[in-house]
Amino acid sequence: MDSSNNTITLYHGSANEVRKPIFGFGNRGNDYGLGFYTTQDYAIAGEWAVRSPEDVDGRDGFINEYRFDLNNLTMLDLTQQDIDKWIAILMVHRTGRYSAAQKRVLDEFVEHRYMGDESHYDVVKGWRANDSYFRFALDYALRLISQDELKQAVALGNLGEQIVLMSHKAFDNIEFIGSHSALAGEYYLSALKRDANARKAYEDIISGRKA
Q: Does residue 121 carry a pLDDT above 70? A: yes
Q: Quick one: average pLDDT of 122-136?
A: 84
Bigger pLDDT: 122 vs 150: 122
Instruction: Provide the pLDDT confidence category of residue 41 given band limits of 50, 70 and 90.
Output: very high
- Give the least confident one: 61-65, 77-81, 153-157, 192-196: 153-157
Please tell me which residue, 53 or 152, carries the higher pLDDT value.
152
Helix ranges, 16-164 (H)? 42-49, 83-93, 100-113, 131-141, 147-157
- Distance CA(162)–CA(171), nearest Å, equals 16
CA distance 55 to 147: 36
* Residues sharing a CB contact under 8 Å with residue 6, sequence separation 6 or more, in sequence order: 69, 70, 71
At residue 33, the pLDDT reads 87
Q: Higher confidence at residue 58 or residue 20?
A: 20
Q: Is the pLDDT of residue 172 over 90?
A: yes
Backbone angles phi, psi at 117, to 5 degrees: -60, 115
Per-residue confidence (pLDDT) for residue 100, from 0 to 100: 93
d(C-alpha 40, C-alpha 162), whole Å:
7
> HEC profile for 132-198?
HHHHHHHHHHCCCCCHHHHHHHHHHHCCCEEEEECCHHHHHCEEEEEEEEECHHHHHHHHHHHHHHH
- What's the confidence (pLDDT) of residue 3? 40
Predicted confidence (pLDDT) at residue 131 exceeds the cutoff of 80: no
User: What value does the mean pLDDT take over residues 70-80?
Assistant: 92
Residue 1 confidence class, pLDDT cut points 50, 70, 90: very low
CA distance 49 to 64: 9
Q: Is residue 44 within 8 Å of residue 160, measured between CB atoms?
A: yes
Mean pLDDT of the chain: 85
pLDDT at 4 over 50: no
Domain positions in the chain = 7-210
